[in-house]
Chain A
Amino acid sequence: MDVKDIIKKENFVYGKSKVLTDNPMHYCPGCTHGVVHKVLAEVIEELDIQDKTIGVSPVGCAVLAYNYLDIDWHEAAHGRAPALASAINRLYPDKFVFTYQGDGDLASIGAAEIMHACNRGEKQLTIFINNAIYGMTGGQMAPTTLEGMKTATSPYGRNVALHGYPLQITELIAQLPGTCYVTRQSAHTPGAVRKLKQAMLKAVKNTLERKGTSFIEVVATCNSGWKQSPVDSNKWMVENMFPKYPLGDMKDI
């Protein structure tokens, strides 16, 4: 059978979601952001909530996420996305509100906002991309940087006596009574992407049912910041990130 006979409309099984726009993404080759955008777009398409979804984008690489998902967006000041999303979900209780933040945005400058939003049990979803580095600004050390990991601002590796320990913020958030679903996922293999989609589906449904705050951490790569190829970054992530940031559900009620 020839390839031309297979590539026909009736044989189509999987492709780009309609919620994604046609703009080429500005992310580096192999960046996990693209996979998470795609999974989110597929969930929004499946649940048919494109016209009632409001996203709050962070400061970081995903600041331009409004170019890629065809939904309503709001841009927040650095780290303040959960506070902004709180206001939006209270004003529009019938909408689905989510924030999309990186580790520099959420775990550092925005640590207070995410803690209090989760503690209040705001009816919103937070997608947290953890790549242990400040990606957009050139690979500086973040609160989540691993012990001994070399970055632009820790050229001899993170020294815990000087810089403190890597912050496992998802574990802290799971302790808060306002959260209903807290999980840590990844997107480096087809299986991990399928699991991420299931988690995303559950979190979005929880938010639509106004059960409480849902929180999904995605352990991600930053191949430009880590100075590795996309394939090597995935291997490095499995070997070094997963022992410190183990995958799985931390809370599901």
Chain B
Amino acid sequence: MAKSRGAIEVDVEKCKGCALCKEACPTKVIDLAKEVNGKGYNYAYMANPEACIGCTSCALVCPDSVIAVYKVTL
């Protein structure tokens, strides 16, 4: 199977830090930041970007549609 690399872009100001993306991620890429956004939420970010495979699981379960997924096949 062809290997793929992915990356996500989080709309930090709209993220509510619900952590559903962190739970859905099969490769444990996402974590909640220690810093907070303008609303006071610990937003999601890529803590382990090398492991991302661009599977879109995080974006599918995100209730606020703040995650955009990019993917390249190597």
**What residues of chain A have their CB less than 8 Å away from a CB belonging to chain B?**
1, 3, 5-8, 11-17, 20, 24-25, 27-35, 38, 187-190, 193-194, 229-231, 234
Contacts and interface: CB of A to CB of B under 8 A. Distances in A.
Q: Across chains A and B, which 10 residue pairs bring their CB atoms closest together, nearest first?
A: A34-B63, A30-B18, A29-B16, A15-B68, A29-B18, A6-B7, A190-B57, A11-B70, A14-B56, A16-B65
Contacts, number: 99
A21 B33 CA distance: 26
Contacts of B60: 14, 190, 193-194
Contacts of A14: 56, 59-60, 68-69
Given A190-B55, A193-B60, A230-B18, 16 more contacts: A5-B72, A6-B71, A8-B70, A12-B69, A13-B69, A13-B71, A16-B65, A16-B68, A24-B14, A27-B64, A33-B63, A34-B64, A35-B62, A190-B24, A230-B20, A231-B18
A24 B55 CA distance: 25
Contacts of B59: 14-15
Nearest to A41: B65
B67 A189 contact: no
A6 B72 contact: yes
B28 interface: no
A44 to B, nearest CB: 14
Contacts of B69: 12-15
B61 A7 contact: no
Tell me which of B6, B24, B46, B61 has the highest count of chain A C-beta atoms within 10 A of its own C-beta: B61
Tell me which of A12, A31, A190, A193 has the highest count of chain B C-beta atoms within 10 A of its own C-beta: A190
A34 B19 contact: no
B20 A6 contact: no
Interface in B17-74: 17-20, 23-24, 41, 46, 49, 54-57, 59-72, 74
A231 B23 CA distance: 7
